[in-house]
Amino acid sequence: MKMRIAQLEDLTYLEHLESLCFPESRRSPRRSLRMSIQSASQIVMICETKPDEGPPQRVGAVILLNYKNSLRIYSLAIDPQFQSQGYGSLILEDVLAHARQHGYRRVSLEADSGNKKLIRFYERFGFEVTDTLPDYYAKGEPAVRMRKELFADDIPQVDERPNVIVVENAKHWPFEIPGTQVVLATTYLSSSRYQNSSLFRVFNLCRSFKPHKFGYYVSLLASARDQRVIPNVTALRDLSSVSLVQSVADDVEEAIQEHLKNVAGREFSLEVYFENTPTPGMSALAKLLAHQFELLLFRVKFVKEERWEIQQVQLLSLPTVIKEHPQDIETNAAKYFQRKRFHRARFKHFHYDLAILINPQEKTPPSCQEALHRMRSAAEKVGFYTEFITKQDYNRICEFDALFIRETTSVDHYTYRFSRRAYAEGLIVMDDPWSILRCSNKMYLYERLSRARVRQPRSWLICKETPEALNLDHFEFPIVLKLPDSCFSVGVFKVNDKSEMREKLDLLFKTSEVVIAQEFLQTPFDWRIGVLDGSPLYACKYHMARGHWQIYNWSPDDREDFVGDAETLALNQVPAHVLQTAVKGAALIGDGLYGVDLKEHQGKAYVIEINDNPNIDAGVEDAILGDDLYLQLMNSFYNRIERERKSPHFVSFRED
C-alpha cells in the first residue's frame, strides 16, 4: 500500500467514493472536493494498492485539515470492496506519521457517538474522547470529538535519556564531555538504533538547518521519532520571519528591557552558547533567551527605537564558534550537559490559531497598542494561539483558523485581499470581504437602508452632467457632499450655498461620476454603537473636533486636536431607539463587528453610516466593559469556528 497526494484527475473517483460510503445527505459535493484538493490548508490523500497484475488500485482516501499546531482528520473513507482488510489502520498510521514529521502537536477527529466499535478502533491508536457534540450530523445524531496528543507539554523531573550530540563531521566536536555520545548526522538518520527508539535526547549541532540540509532532516526526523530534540522544527520555523521571532519573544519583553536598560547606543548583539554568553553581565538574559527560543548556538540582534526590540535571531555554525571561542564553548557545554533535567518551553494547549493583521506605521489605526495587547490576552484565555501579522505575511494566511483585521480597510487595498483570501481558505474572518465591500460604498448603504426603511438624513444621488448637477435650486443649505467611497471624513464637504456646492461638485466629479448629497443635521456629537453578532457591544459619543463640524478635522495644519473627544456610556444609558436603529442597520450588512454612526435629532435616530473595522481603543470603547469587551470579541471568533467545525463529515470503513 502507498499513499499519494490527490490530483484533480482523482475528483471523479472521490465523488464516486462518497456515493459508495455515505448517505446522500452526508456526501461532500463535487465543488467541495475540488476545493479540498486545491486548498493550501487541506490535504487530500489517496490510498493505493498494487495488485500482482495491472495498474495500482485506489482503495480509499482521507481529507486532512491543517491548523498551526494540530492536524484534523476531516474525512476517511474506504471503498466497501476493500473494507475489513486493514487499510483503515494503515491510513491512520500514515496520518499520524505525517503529523509527527511536520511538527504537529496533536491530531483530532469527530466520530459518531453511537458507533462504539469505531470509537474503540481510534482508542487503540491512543485517541481519547474530549467532547460530546449534540446534533452534530443532524438533529438527534450526536458525535464525539477525539484527540491524540503527539508531544507532551513538559518532561519528567528526572530524565535519564542518553544525550546524543549530532554533527556532520566528528572533528567539529573535539571535546570529551561525560554523559554524551557524539554521532554523525548520516549515522543518526540511517541507523536502526536511532530510528526505532524514542529514548534519546538529541542536540543537533549540524552546520546548516536550511531545507534539504542534514541539520534540517535531523531535527525533522527526531520529532517524527518522538525524541527530544534541540532545536526542533517548530523553533527553526519560528526564525523564518521577524514577526514570528517577536511573537515568540513577547513573553520575555519586559525582561529584555530590564537587562538592556543600561546598554548605550541603538544596536546590540548577544551571542549565546549553551544558555550562556561571553558578554559580561548578560548570562541571565542569555539563559532566558535560550529557554524561550529553544536553541543552542545563536546570536540575537537588538535595535532600539523607543524600546529594545529583537531584529533578528541567527543560528551560529559550531566550527566557527569553536574557532573563535574554544574555551567558552567547552566550559559552557560541560556545565550544560552535566544536568539531569533540560528546560523545555511550556506550550499552552491552544485550540485554534488567530492572526491579527496590523500596520505598525498606520497613523490612526483602529486599535492602539494597549488594545491589541488586551485582545491577545483575551484570545489566549479563550483558547487561541495569537500572532500579529503584517502585509508581508499574506502567504501564511492558511496557517491560521481565524483572521482579525485591525488596520483600516478598503476595497482597493491589501486588507480586502487578505479578507478574501482568508474567506476562500475557510478561515473565520472579521471583517469579511462582503462587509468591507458593503460598508465602503455610501451608495450601497443609502439604497440598503432606504429599502429597509431605516431612518437616515435625506439624501440624493447626483450624477455627472445630469439636470440635478446643473440645477441646484431645490437644495436647502447647508448640505453635505460625499464621495461614494469616502471614509474617516475624507472626501466629505459641507457647503453653504449654490456657488460653493457647484465648486465642490466640480472637484468631486473629477474623482467620481456620482456624488451623494445629504441633509446636514447639526448635533454636538455622533453616537457610535458597536454591534457584534447582532447585539450592541459598546456605546460612545464621538464629539466634533474643536471648531469643526466633523469628528475628524483633516486640515493641513498639524494640530493635536484633529479629532474630537469621546465619551463611553453603559448600554442602559443609551436611548432605546438609538440602539434599536443601530442593530437594525448593522443587520443589513452582516453578523460581524460593525460601528454604526448615528445622529439624534428631535428625538429621532438617523443612521449616518455603518463602518466595518470599527475603532476599539483602550480607555475609549472599552471604558465600560474593560477586559470583558475583548473576551466577547474572542468568544465570537471561537464560537464561529466551533459552528463551522460542526459541518457534517464522516468516516466510512469497518474495524479491522
Helix, strand or coil, per DSSP, at residue 260: helix
**Domain range 2-153, CATH architecture:** 3-Layer(aba) Sandwich (3.40)
What letter does residue 153 receive in the DSSP assignment? Answer: S
DSSP states of 553-586: ---SS--TTSB--EEEE-GGGS-HHHHHHHHHHH
Q: Is the pLDDT of residue 247 over 60?
A: yes
| Contact (Cβ atoms closer than 8 angstroms) between residue 186 and residue 224 | no
- For residue 161, CA distances in Å to 57, 122, 205, 431, 641 come to 44, 30, 18, 49, 40
Q: Which of 497, 492, 491 is nearest to 472 (CA)?
A: 497
Cell numbers at residue 118, please?
469505531
- Predicted pLDDT at 467: 65
- Find the mean pLDDT for residues 124-140: 87
- Predicted pLDDT at 155: 31
User: Which of residues 241 and 477 earns the better pLDDT score?
Assistant: 477
pTM: 0.50
- Predicted pLDDT at 153: 40
Judge: domain 523-625, CATH 3.30.470.20: yes
Q: Over the stretch 417-476, which tens digit does the pLDDT of each residue have? A: 999 988 888 889 999 988 998 888 777 888 888 888 999 998 888 887 776 666 788 888
- Predicted pLDDT at 22: 82
- Find the mean pLDDT for residues 213-239: 80
Cell numbers at residue 404, please?
482579525
Cα-trace Rg, the chain: 30
Strand ranges, E, within 246-399? 267-273, 297-304, 308-315, 352-357, 384-389
Q: Residue 159: pLDDT band by 50, 70, 90 thresholds?
A: very low
Q: Is the pLDDT of residue 490 over 90?
A: no
Query: 190 φ, ψ to 5°?
Result: -110, -20
- With pLDDT > 70 as the criterion, what percentage of the chain qualifies? 88
Determine the Cα–Cα distance for residues 265 and 303; give it in Å rounded to an integer: 9
| Contact (Cβ atoms closer than 8 angstroms) between residue 351 and residue 235 | no
Q: Is the pLDDT of residue 21 over 90?
A: no
Q: How many of the other CB atoms lie within 10 Å of CB of 277?
A: 24
- Find the mean pLDDT for residues 612-621: 93
Give ∠ CA 486-490-492 in degrees, rounded to 5: 75
As beta bridge partners, residue 45 has 5, 62
- With pLDDT > 90 as the criterion, what percentage of the chain qualifies? 36
Q: Over the stretch 32-46, which tens digit does the pLDDT of each residue have? A: 888 888 776 788 999
Domain extents in the chain? 2-153, 163-337, 458-519, 523-625
Q: Is the pLDDT of residue 347 over 50?
A: no
- Predicted pLDDT at 206: 92
* In 310-461, alpha helices (H): 318-324, 326-337, 369-382, 414-424, 433-440, 442-451
- Predicted pLDDT at 552: 56
Give the residue carrying C-alpha cell 464637504: 493
**Domain range 458-519, CATH architecture:** 2-Layer Sandwich (3.30)
Q: Over the stretch 79-105, which tens digit does the pLDDT of each residue have? A: 999 888 888 888 999 899 888 877 678
Determine the Cα–Cα distance for residues 136 and 223; give it in Å rounded to an integer: 34
Determine the Cα–Cα distance for residues 434 and 360; give it in Å rounded to an integer: 25
Helix, strand or coil, per DSSP, at residue 246: helix
| Contact (Cβ atoms closer than 8 angstroms) between residue 282 and residue 274 | no
Q: Over the stretch 511-563, which tens digit does the pLDDT of each residue have? A: 888 888 888 888 889 999 999 999 999 999 998 776 666 655 555 554 455 56
Determine the Cα–Cα distance for residues 202 and 189; give it in Å rounded to an integer: 12
Least trusted range by pLDDT, from 9-23, 239-253, 372-386, 403-417: 239-253
What letter does residue 276 receive in the DSSP assignment? Answer: B
Determine the Cα–Cα distance for residues 506 and 489; give it in Å rounded to an integer: 19
pLDDT, the chain, mean: 84
- Find the mean pLDDT for residues 295-324: 91
- Find the mean pLDDT for residues 328-337: 87
- Predicted pLDDT at 80: 92
- Predicted pLDDT at 346: 44
Strand ranges, E, within 263-358? 267-273, 297-304, 308-315, 352-357
Q: Which of 52, 50, 41, 35 is nearest to 4 (CA)?
A: 50
Contacts (Cβ under 8 Å, ≥6 apart) of 253: none
- Predicted pLDDT at 654: 45
What letter does residue 154 receive in the DSSP assignment? Answer: S
As beta bridge partners, residue 350 has none
Q: Is the pLDDT of residue 241 over 90?
A: no
Least trusted range by pLDDT, from 201-210, 233-242, 433-442: 233-242
As beta bridge partners, residue 314 has 299
Q: Is the pLDDT of residue 292 over 60?
A: yes
- Predicted pLDDT at 157: 35
Give the residue carrying C-alpha cell 443609502: 446
Q: Is the pLDDT of residue 151 over 80?
A: no
Least trusted range by pLDDT, from 142-146, 181-185, 262-266, 409-413: 409-413
